[in-house]
Amino acid sequence: METEWTQTLGAGPLLLIAAAAIAVLLLLIIQFRVHAFLALVTVSVATAFATGIPAENVIPTLTEGFGSTLAAVALLVGLGAMLGRLVEVSGGAQSLTDALLRRFGEKRAPFALGVASMIFGFPIFFDAGFVVMLPIIFAVARRLGGSVLLYALPAAGAFSIMHIYLPPHPGPVAASALLGADVGLVVALGLLVAIPTWYVTGYLYGLWAGRKFDLPVPEILSGGPEAERQENPPKAATVIGIMLLPLVLIFMDTGLNTAGEAGWVDGEATWFNVLRTLGSTTIALLATVFVASYVLGTRRGKTRAMIEDLVNSALGPVAAIILITGAGGMFGGVLRASGIGDALSDAMSDIGLPVIVAAFIIATVLRIAQGSATVALTATAGLVQPIVAGGDYNGVQLAAIVIAIGAGSVMASHVNDSGFWLVGRFLEMDVKTTLKTWTVMETLIGLVGFALAAGIFAVASIGS
C-alpha cells in the first residue's frame, strides 16, 4: 500500500536528477547498447530512489505508470499489427499498388507509391510497412528507370509520417493517453497534418532528392521474406474499404461527442453511448480485424487454423514495441510522482515558453540523443503532462500538442536510429548519402508538421 509523503527536494536538485536520469538513460542505450526496455526500467527505479520516493511506494509507482500506459497502448498496437498482417499476406498491398499505378499512370508512380504507403501506414508500423513495400518499389523502379530514391523516399516518408502522427501507432497513442487527448480527434487532426506534410516532404523533396542523387536499383529483389503470394488477390476497392472502416467508426465517435457537447443530441441516451463505444479506437480496430479476417481470410478459402496462425504471427514482432512503450510510461510516471514534472513545469513557466514549443523542443532533444521516436514521444508526454494538466486546454489544443511532440520525435534521424540503417542498408546508400537524403527528409517532416500543429493550436486558442 502506498503511503503519503511530501517531496522535500527543491526544484534545482529535482531538475538535476532529471537531467542525470536522462543522461544515464541515453548512455545505457547508446554507449553500452542496453536494450531500451531494460534501460528505462533501471533508470526509472534509480530515479525513484534518488528523488526520495519511499521504498514502499517505488514498485506501486512503477507498475502504475507501466500499467496505465499499456492499458491504452497494448490493445491498439496488437490489433493494428494483426490488421496489417492480414492485409499484407492476402496480397492486398500488391493489389492496391497496382490499382494506383493504373489510376495515376507511370509518370506519377512516386505519387502512387506514396499514397499506397500512407493508406497502409495507418495500421502497419514503419519498419514492417517499408519492408513489405520494398519489392514493389524495386519492381516499379526497374520498370520505369531513374534513381531508386524517386520511388523509395515518397513511400518511406509516408510510413514515417503515419507512424509518428497517427494512432494506432504506439507513440501517438501513448502521448494521447498521458496528456488526456481524445484519440479520435488526434486521428482527425493528424490526417490534416500528415497529408500536406507528406506532399511537401515525402513527395516533392523525394522527387528533388531522386533527381539529385542517382542511385541504381539494388540487386536485392525483395525487402526481406516476401508475404504469401496470391494468384487472385483481393480487389483494391475491398482493401480500401477495410482500411477506411476504423477511420469511419472513430470519426463517428468524434462527431457524436461534438454533437453531445453542443447539445444537438441527448448525451445521456443509451443509443448515443452505445454508438460512441462502437466508435472507440479499440472497438473500431477489433471490428476491423474481424471483418478483415472474414473478407481477406475465410471468404478467400483460408481455414480458421490458418487465420489464427496468421494473426498470432503478427504479435511477436510488436512485443518489444509494446514493452518499450510501457517502460517509457513508467519513466514518465516516476517523473510525475517524484515532483520532477512539476519542477519542469515551473521552470518552463519562468522561461515563458509556450507549451507546444516546449513539447516540440524536448521531443527533438530526446530524439536526437537516443534515436527512438516512440521513446521520445512517450517520455516527452510524461515530462510535459504536469504543464498540460496545469493549463486550461481544449480538445483541439491537446491534440495539437500530441502532434507537435510527434513532430519533434522524428527530427534529425541519424546513426542511433534503426530507421536510418534500415533505409540506408536496403537502398544500398553509404552513411553520407543517407544523411543527405533520409536525415534531411525526416527533419523536414518534423519542421513542417510542427508548423501545422502550431497553427492549429493558435487557431484553437482563439476564444478559448
User: Domain boundaries in the chain?
Assistant: 13-461
Between these two residues, 219 and 397, which has the higher pLDDT value? 397
Weakest-pLDDT range from 132-136, 164-168, 200-204: 132-136
Residues 6 or more apart whose CB falls under 8 angstroms from that of 168 comprise 76, 77, 79, 80, 123, 281, 285
Which has the closest alpha carbon to 175: 360, 42, 314? 360
The beta strand positions in 26-170, using DSSP E, are: none
pLDDT at 261 over 80: no
Asked if 58 contacts 48 with a C-beta cutoff of 8 angstroms, the reply is: yes
- Rounded Cα gap, residues 369 and 402, in angstroms: 20
Q: Of 49-58, 69-78, 102-111, which has the strongest mean pLDDT?
A: 49-58
pLDDT-above-90 percentage for the chain: 26
Quickly state the pLDDT bin for 222 (edges 50, 70, 90): very low
Supply the mean pLDDT for the chain.
83
Residue type, 105: G
What's the sign of the alpha-carbon dihedral 177, 179, 182, 184?
negative
Query: For residue range 76-134, what is the model confidence (pLDDT) as tens digits?
Result: 778 877 887 787 788 876 777 678 778 888 788 899 889 888 887 876 778 767 876 77
Q: Three cell numbers at 259?
A: 454533437
- Rounded Cα gap, residues 225 and 233, in angstroms: 18
- Please count the residues of the chain: 464
- Rounded Cα gap, residues 79 and 110, in angstroms: 29
Which has the closest alpha carbon to 385: 349, 355, 350? 355
Between these two residues, 138 and 53, which has the higher pLDDT value? 53
Q: Three cell numbers at 19?
A: 537531467
Asked if 174 contacts 184 with a C-beta cutoff of 8 angstroms, the reply is: no
Cβ-defined contacts of 306-313 (< 8 Å, 24+)? 310/85, 310/86, 310/89, 311/82, 311/85, 311/86, 313/85
Which has the closest alpha carbon to 150: 112, 96, 98? 112
B/e letters for 23-52, b = 16+ CB within 10 Å, e = fewer, are: eebbebbeeeebebbebbbebbbbbbebbb
**What does residue 379 show for φ and ψ, rounded to 5 degrees?**
-65, -40
The separation between CA 260 and the C-alpha centre of its own chain, rounded to angstroms, equals: 29
pLDDT value at position 72?
65
- Rounded Cα gap, residues 409 and 282, in angstroms: 24
Quickly state the pLDDT bin for 223 (edges 50, 70, 90): very low
pLDDT value at position 224?
40
Asked if 132 contacts 124 with a C-beta cutoff of 8 angstroms, the reply is: yes
pLDDT at 282 over 90: no
Asked if 340 contacts 48 with a C-beta cutoff of 8 angstroms, the reply is: no
Which has the closest alpha carbon to 335: 71, 65, 72, 34? 65
pLDDT at 221 over 50: no
Q: Of 21-35, 171-185, 313-327, 330-344, which has the strongest mean pLDDT?
A: 171-185
- Helices 126-144 and 418-426: angle between axes, nearest 10 degrees: 20
pTM listed for this prediction: 0.71
Q: What is the mean pLDDT of residues 448-461?
A: 94
Query: For residue range 392-408, what is the model confidence (pLDDT) as tens digits?
Result: 888 899 999 999 999 99
pLDDT value at position 245?
86
The separation between CA 305 and the C-alpha centre of its own chain, rounded to angstroms, equals: 31
